[in-house]
Amino acid sequence: MPLLQVKNLKTYYQTARGYVKAVDGVNFQIEEGEVFGLAGESGCGKTTVALSIIRLLPPGGRIIDGKIIFNDKNILTMSEEDIRKIRWKKIAIVFQGAMNALNPVIKVGDQIVEAITTHENVSKEDAWKRTEKLFEMVGIDPSRAKDYPHEFSGGMKQRVMIAMALACNPQLLIADEPATALDVIVQAQILKLMRELQRKMNLSMMLITHDLSIIAETCNKVAIMYAGKIVEYADTKRIFRDPQHPYTRGLINAFPSIRGPKRKLISIPGTPPDLLNPPSGCRFHPRCPYTNDKCKKIEPELKDIGERHYVACHMSW
Ligand code: SF4
């Protein structure tokens, strides 16, 4: 039984002009100990999927349909009290730019102690001991737990946020663009740290990013999202070796390959659609070089083309 199953998830935002269909029928699952990547351009609905899983949508956001099964229970039908027991303790999240969320006037260690004592019935003394261990785990000298956020670099603050996310020993860690605001070298260190912790703790991880090179280095499985829908979903190696959807091919061509031969980078023409009024048929058709009449009228279903490789395209090759 997978740890998490997302089934036909639809999350819309109500606006004065109508519903923005940010997530529109998304399906995937994450096994125990697996690193699952959710990739796509900004605004494709990746973060909304994450916020739906922990039921922390911003005002105007509503889950219209679907199921989110975690440990055999549907998160979407749980009471507020039950979901609070899962959040942080079972499912933790590191948001994009989370390091800026540290309270500047409270010592970083105290902020982690507070997170632990809020969710678990432990003494402050024990929570402090756990905080020091967490600091060691994320590669920070435990004595630095007594310092304030302004005494840390961006990379160190992000390590603190990872320590905080892992403080209650969750089963699933969601990391939403965890290294985007950092320079490339620190970015690589943070991702390496996350991979090491994931293996050591046998954590399941959902990594959200627009950067396919991060997916290639980190994830076992990947789903490519476009305009609120998953357009391709498979084992990571398979997607990079044999991408089928024109959008996935476009994304791969737009990123440099570190190990492969030198090639010209080609960006995908056009821009993602307005999800208030998405295109008919295949949502990628205004940008796709292979569009035909069928693509404009009929929405392609996500179909298994073999070996659990799913593609939503009328012309999957
Ligand atoms: Fe392109 Fe048509 Fe496939 Fe959509 S269904 S990706 S428009 S070929």
pTM beyond 0.75: yes
Q: Is 316 in the pocket of ligand 1 (CB under 6 A)?
A: no
Contacts of 173 (CB under 8 A, 6+ apart): 91, 92, 93, 94, 165, 166, 194, 198, 203, 204, 205, 206
- Which residue lies with its CA nearest to atom 7 of ligand 1? 285
Q: Is 317 in the pocket of ligand 1 (CB under 6 A)?
A: no
Q: Is 285 in the pocket of ligand 1 (CB under 6 A)?
A: yes
Distance (Å) from CA 216 to ligand 1 centroid: 24
The CB density around residue 178, as the number of other CB atoms within 10 Å, is 30
Question: What is residue 228's DSSP assignment?
Answer: T
Would you say 11 and 3 are in contact if contact means Cβ atoms under 8 Å apart?
A: no
Distance (Å) from CA 247 to ligand 1 centroid: 9
Distance (Å) from CA 207 to ligand 1 centroid: 26
- Return the pLDDT at 317: 60
Return the ligand 1 atom nearest residue 231 CA.
Answer: 6
Question: What is residue 178's DSSP assignment?
Answer: T
Half-sphere exposure in the Cβ direction for 234 (13 Å, CA): 24
- Return the pLDDT at 221: 97
- Return the pLDDT at 294: 96
The CB density around residue 252, as the number of other CB atoms within 10 Å, is 16
**10-residue stretch averages of pLDDT, the chain, 317 residues long:** 96 96 97 96 94 96 97 96 91 82 92 92 94 92 94 89 91 89 79 89 94 90 97 96 94 72 69 92 95 96 94 87
Q: Is 229 in the pocket of ligand 1 (CB under 6 A)?
A: no
- Return the pLDDT at 155: 87
